[in-house]
Chain A
Amino acid sequence: MFEYAPAPESRDVVDIKPSYGLFIDGEFVDGAGTSFKTVNPATEEALAEVAAASQADVDRAVQAARKAFGAWSAMPGSERAKYLFRIARIIQERSRELAVLETLDNGKPIRESRDVDLPLVAAHFFYYAGWADKLGYAGYGPAPKPLGVAGQVIPWNFPLLMLAWKIAPALACGNTVVLKPAETTPLTALLFAEICRQADLPPGVVNIVTGAGETGAAVVNHPDVNKVAFTGSTEVGRLIARSVAGTGKKVTLELGGKAANVIFDDAAIDQAVEGIVDGIFFNQGHVCCAGSRLLVQESIAEELLESLKRRLSRLRLGDPLDKNTDIGAINSAEQLARVRELSDIGEAEGAERWSPACTLPERGFWFPPTVFTGVAQSHRIARDEVFGPVLAVLTFRTPAEAVEKANNTPYGLSAGVWTEKGSRILWMADRLRAGVVWANTFNKFDPASPFGGYKESGYGREGGRHGLEAYLDV
């Protein structure tokens, strides 16, 4: 392996305050809950003290959003659009600061927060800004109406990007929002609150309430919330679906996945190997659509695995702020424990575990890229979402068997297929029961492209024209 000199991105660009309040009605205010510390998962250093919103705080946030809804929804779409364009521009202007903060709070490599998360965040606001005055042409009737107050709960894997996916379409359609960022990654959302102030967004249109699961439940179950949007685990998604039953609230859920990445014998091996690596090791595998089940045609399995292992031996794991880093830190001690537990179960159930020689930093939460071979469909590492850098490898002989195995999961978020044969790609794409199919590529995202799952991966779509439906009364 080449020796690289350290190339750390400076963290001076971001000014982290010792403590943060809630963002309600355009002001930062104290929370009544027990405040908590957010930690840099790469070093376990506490970054800041963050307020926790109680039920009463959430209620105030919902009231602020309700109060702001009248004027915001009545405003001409072209004016709402300009606020969103402003926000997009400020995000671009402050992108370095946001990227560094995201990496500090989340543990993802700066290369990813800088080159993937932030450009997509800005693009998402740009995209939906343009819809705000064109909703009558979106195919939902001549003058579709917003729903009202949207309660949104987002995960820790792409903190700012998930915020953008939630807030941009909600605001473009004329809704106001109360958003709860994940407990372990609240900082970029709070910086976003500051951006809303810089953009002179009317108070109450965006409210950010930080806290843990209880705060999220208070947002989701608030009787004056008209729309619930959640991204996270299928387990929590189920609870939300049950708790809103009968309330008439519109719900979109973007939940877990166990995507099959199917490699046929005629695939371009080197590209496929890059796609496999992107599929499961991007963002430490903390990706709901990660290609966590590799299905390889038996005749090339040996050759492909050799290439894959060679490639994995060259991945750099370490300081997320280093511009050469490929694999950053696991987001939390809790998540690390889950990844370890499922990996241990994988071994105990008889699969063969392999990781490249890899020195893990002494402090922080780390897990090496891991590949399991000899995996059976019944193994938990082939069934459960690990949400970590762990790949389960299975083989198949015929295309029909590949389809059967790929679809043998309660999830249905994404899938990958690699072959040089066009008709086979289309045949596979037809049969894979998943909301996104990446053919000869993987883990690509775009604001113009709808994203969301089949089956237990949730319902509703985010992105594109389809993403508007979630925030319109149609």
Chain B
Amino acid sequence: MSKTEAVRLAVRKTYKLYIGGAFPRSESGRSYAVTSSKGDFLANASKASRKDARDAVSAARKAFPGWSGATAYNRGQILYRIAEMLEGRRAQFVAELTEAGAKKAGDAVDAAVDRLVWYAGWSDKITSVAGAANPVAGPYFNISTPEPTGVVAVVAPADPLLGLVSVVAPVIVTGNTCVVVASERAPLPSITLAEVLATSDLPGGVVNVLTGSVKEIAPWLAAHMDVNAVDLTGVADDDLAVACEQAAAENLKRVLRPSAPDWSADPGLKRMTAFLETKTVWHPTGF
């Protein structure tokens, strides 16, 4: 009998994309090596293709009627559930963020959970705050309510968890669905977050996560005719951002391009209202 005990080899995770509630590999079969801040190999992430981006948009479009038609209370409950599931995986995220080079990874996870809770509470309040009863000069009932814009393409910022949560939560809490291009350098937490989303009763297709080259994927999404809005927060290259804005003009997408957001600051309403449409309904009064 040998004296040496076999060291158990860890079972590594395959990081794939998240589209329509499933975790497919890139249809292109491509991947890219993700390294730690020190340059050590961490994993091979899927390198999404144009076809993956299009599949993600159609999944988001398919999910839109159900998600936008859900009650605000229901959407709030699901966002809160995401916060619960994220809290439960705190250790895993701390480890992943630390590997990606985060200094205070624990604080970042806590802040991400708190941000989800904050946005969860907005689901059934934003309409009261952003809507209006309008006193028109005539015998009419007139009311304005905010409604989700539709499918939003989001280029997530470099901050791999708090930044990601801070751009996704305000988009979906109001009933939009989205396709997110994760941080190119640190994409692994985004796929782990997708596992959180997949177990939070969030319907498949509401959030779709692509990893890969921002320069490659963002222009396709900005030009896609079934995308209603783009959030260019994570596009660092100015020329690329302008090219995306120009492409977005083709079907008059709503474009959000903030300057250097501070993820620890009070988010305000801007990220929600940027992807809301105001609908005004008139009806005569009388008997």
Interface size on B, residues (CB 8 A): 34
Interface string of B132-154 (1 = CB under 8 A from A): 10111110101010000110000
Are B254 and A444 in touch, CB under 8 angstroms? no
Are A429 and B281 in touch, CB under 8 angstroms? yes
Interface assignment of A51: CB less than 8 Å from any CB of chain B: no
Interface assignment of B228: CB less than 8 Å from any CB of chain A: yes
> Which of A123, A234, A436, A440 sits near B284, CB closer than 8 Å?
A440
- Provide the residues of chain B in CB contact with A439, threshold 8 Å: 281-283
What's the Cα separation between A434 and B132 when bound, in Å? Answer: 17
Interface assignment of B249: CB less than 8 Å from any CB of chain A: yes
What's the Cα separation between A209 and B246 when bound, in Å? Answer: 27
Interface assignment of B245: CB less than 8 Å from any CB of chain A: yes
Interface of B is mostly: mixed
**Which of A149-157, A190-198, A456-464 binds B?**
A456-464
Min CB gap A469→B, angstroms: 8
Interface string of A105-134 (1 = CB under 8 A from B): 000000000000000000100000000000
- Provide the residues of chain B in CB contact with A139, threshold 8 Å: 129
Interface assignment of B22: CB less than 8 Å from any CB of chain A: no
- Provide the residues of chain A in CB contact with B248, threshold 8 Å: 241, 245
A-B contact count (CB 8 A): 105
What's the Cα separation between A444 and B245 when bound, in Å? Answer: 34
Are B251 and A436 in touch, CB under 8 angstroms? no
Per the 8 Å Cβ criterion, residues 33-56 of A in contact with B are none
Interface assignment of A451: CB less than 8 Å from any CB of chain B: yes
Interface assignment of A299: CB less than 8 Å from any CB of chain B: no
- Provide the residues of chain B in CB contact with A440, threshold 8 Å: 283-284
Q: A436-B279, A437-B281, A450-B134 are in contact. Are A241 and B144 (CB under 8 A)?
A: no
Interface size on A, residues (CB 8 A): 42
Are A434 and B279 in touch, CB under 8 angstroms? yes
- Provide the residues of chain B in CB contact with A451, threshold 8 Å: 280
Interface assignment of B42: CB less than 8 Å from any CB of chain A: no
Are B249 and A245 in touch, CB under 8 angstroms? yes
> Which of B144, B238, B254 sits near A466, CB closer than 8 Å?
B144
- Provide the residues of chain A in CB contact with B252, threshold 8 Å: 234, 237-238, 241, 253, 255, 455-459
What's the Cα separation between A429 and B249 when bound, in Å? Answer: 28
- Provide the residues of chain A in CB contact with B33, threshold 8 Å: none
Interface assignment of A465: CB less than 8 Å from any CB of chain B: yes
Return 19 A-B CB contacts under 8 Å, by A number: A234-B252, A237-B252, A241-B249, A245-B248, A245-B249, A246-B238, A253-B252, A425-B283, A434-B279, A435-B278, A435-B280, A438-B282, A441-B282, A455-B252, A464-B132, A464-B134, A464-B280, A465-B132, A466-B144
